[in-house]
Chain A
Amino acid sequence: MTAVTDPFRLRDPARAEKLARTLRRLAPGRAVKLVHVCGTHEAAIAEHGLRSLLPEGVEVYEGPGCPVCVTSTADINVAVKLALEKDVVLCTFGDMLRVPGSELTLEEARAQGADVRVVLSAADAVRIARENPRKEVVFFAVGFETTAPATAAVLLGSPPHNFSVLCSHKLIPPALEALLRENTAVEGFLAPGHVSVIIGADAYRELARKHRIPVVVGGFEPLDVLYAVALLLKQLRDGRAEVENAYPRAVRPEGNPKAKELMGRAFEVVDAVWRGIGTIPASGLGIREELSRFDARRRFGVEAGVGMEEPPGCRCPEVIMAKAVPTDCPLFGTACTPLSPVGPCMVGAEGACAIWYKYGERPRL
């Protein structure tokens, strides 16, 4: 980001009222389903009660926007196996510890004696590897294009021999495309600001053209979100299907070339399994052959089956596919809470269910 903006300026009640009036003028007079794919967007919408400012019939869903929530049970099973059976120090982001695998969470594996540590970045995991030269240290890498460049930088930066990566990075544009195939009701995308800082607004052009769907890149302050939604409704009204950048203070058309170059050198695009969706072609990142010595899957030869996905009653798959909102699930807030989550969407801080619970979000209030 080039300029620091006072965030409270983007919460100005008078400007918000103006935007709300614009939105009411753009009311489509029919049901319109929009999807964003970002926990930060969901948090902004919920924290500021923005759904109540949208015109009648306009609904916004989170979709597959929580990296923790879409990490496949198979990948979690591999991580659990590595931690329990291969005597490694398994490092990952805090939210990953409580996501249910087929049998165990990483937190439960830790309770059984596994060495599972919470890190804030890939570089933290490398530091742990340098401090423990006699231990194998595995970084369980999850996240979209936002966190993948940091993992790439670590892989390309000659990490110590006892360090490896269990790579579960995923890509946003293929997920949007898969969502459109599965859920034909979706009429517009509010594209994620953070991911777009890396991949650029142009990365959605192909999607918009091929599927004739409006895409607007949006920021995270309430006025950013309302403005982006207004642009989407305008496109729908005018029958346009374009990529527009409503977050130009952070996002450039071409994105961040340096970060993209790092990702390209460290990773190759592979098919990936998304929890709640299934296999999406060319939607994940695998470690390149030249760096395969740092690939934990190859180093330890561990694979694991998918097994059961969600427990009975849990509607996470529909929440991830933008077919249900959290309060549609009978378990929401009763059997499933952040203190005892049933599905992944209640675990990850970016999961729709966790966010709706925290901010008391309802479809209409």
Chain B
Amino acid sequence: MPSGTSTGSVPGSKGRSMRKPLSEEKITALHGAGGELMNRLVAELRELFPLRAAGEVGLDDLDDGASLSLPQGEVVVTTDSHVVKPLSFPGGDIGKLAASGTVNDLAVMGARPVAMTLGLIIEEGFPISELKKFLSSLAEVLREVGAALVTGDTKVMGKGEMDGLVMNTTGIGVAERIIRDSGLRPGDKIIITGPVGDHGMAVLAAREGIPVEGEIKSDVSPIWPLVERALSIGGVTAMKDPTRGGLAAALNEMARKSGVGITVREEEIPVRPEVRGLAELLGISPLNLACEGRAVIGVSPDRAEAVISALREHPLGRDARIIGEAIPEHRGKVVLETRVGGRRYLEMPLGDPVPRIC
């Protein structure tokens, strides 16, 4: 993407015919070298984004940076690098993932996404048609939530020096009221907005070529529209998106930071049968698998049912459920009531069972 500071990182780069249509070309070192070839690439790619400014200076200005005119409120900033493998998987691709992941981090802090930046690091030889496809997915997410792509950067690395494509994003949003992951109070109901583990399992199955009966699709999607509904009802005390380490990691973090205990009922936690079956086969807990389109929401008990009703009106929230509550006992721990009625702690996973999922 543009930015006058971009420089190619590959010495001795070879030029290529510039008359070929872009769609047939592959990325060369020159595409990241800040010259004419890069400008041509950027000019074509930026057309994919309907919203390209959120202030005086935007993407089209190709200036050293962008400027933002933000509405009243607390400004929230988040940053992320996306290294998913494979780049396309059932239900999404790296573009949709990069935009959703960024928007969702803003959303669970209570912030409406306003703008995003995009840094691309591309391996030499990467097909430009693929790049366009991924950027279209990314643009689609931004369009959905009404956020602008305001500035970016492109770097090319030599063949074999990296694995295809890496995206780095920074998201900027504005919140009327900041929601933390540390705000739970005893008595608050814990809501999950949909089935857990879809993303982690979809990426794992795609990467390892595991044949799956009935496709397992990633849940990757921007959850701001869903979160906005919950916030409009009121009573939201804490939020977190259960990405790496899944629901188990998110709940443990919320319990620790809030200084409360959490109990959840396994029977109430939605898990798709395909995901549950494959997880069982692989010896992985679905509660440790990442989601990319879900939120864990803490709500004061008097508003919980109203929030659930509001969430269920949105397609992404159809399966929203109350899965448990915050309690004064077991501070910093999560108690799982198992399907068969037993009790144990749901521990913070040592790490995500699947690497390179986001």
Contact = CB atoms under 8 A, between A and B. Distances in A.
A360 B342 contact: no
Interface string B347-358: 100100000000
Contact of B342 (A7, A12, A51, A357): A51
Of B333, B338, B340, B350, most buried by chain A (CB within 10 Å of CB) is B340
B343 A49 contact: yes
A339 interface: yes
Interface residues of A, number: 28
Interface string A37-52: 0000000001111111
A358 B340 CA distance: 19
B342 A362 contact: no
Interface string A303-319: 00000000000000000
Contact of B345 (A12, A13, A365): A365
Given A7-B280, A49-B336, A358 B342 contact: no
Nearest to A339: B350
Nearest to A20: B341
Of A7, A20, A53, A360, most buried by chain B (CB within 10 Å of CB) is A360
Interface string A330-365: 000000001100000000000000000111111001
Interface string A152-196: 000000000000000000000000000000000000000000000
B228 to A, nearest CB: 35
B350 A359 contact: no
B contact residues, range: 10 to 19
Interface string B85-113: 00000000000000000000000000000
Contact of A13 (B267, B276, B343, B347): B267
A49 B340 CA distance: 8
B344 A53 contact: no
B339 interface: yes
Contacts, number: 67
Given A7-B280, A339-B350, A359 B344 contact: yes
A49 B342 contact: yes
A330 to B, nearest CB: 19
B213 to A, nearest CB: 14
Of B335, B341, B346, most buried by chain A (CB within 10 Å of CB) is B341
Nearest to B273: A8
Contact of A16 (B340, B344, B345): B340
A360 B350 CA distance: 12
A347 to B, nearest CB: 14
Interface in A40-72: 46-53
Contacts of B267: 13
A358 B344 contact: no
Contact of A53 (B280, B342, B347): B342
B339 A16 contact: yes
Contacts of A226: 340
Nearest to B345: A360
Interface of A: 7-8, 11-13, 16-17, 20, 46-53, 222-223, 226, 338-339, 357-362, 365
7 contacts: A11-B340, A49-B341, A52-B342, A52-B344, A53-B340, A362-B344, A362-B345
Interface of B: 267, 276, 280, 333-347, 350
State the 5 A-B residue pairs at the shortest beta-carbon distance, nearest first: A360-B345, A49-B342, A16-B340, A49-B344, A360-B347
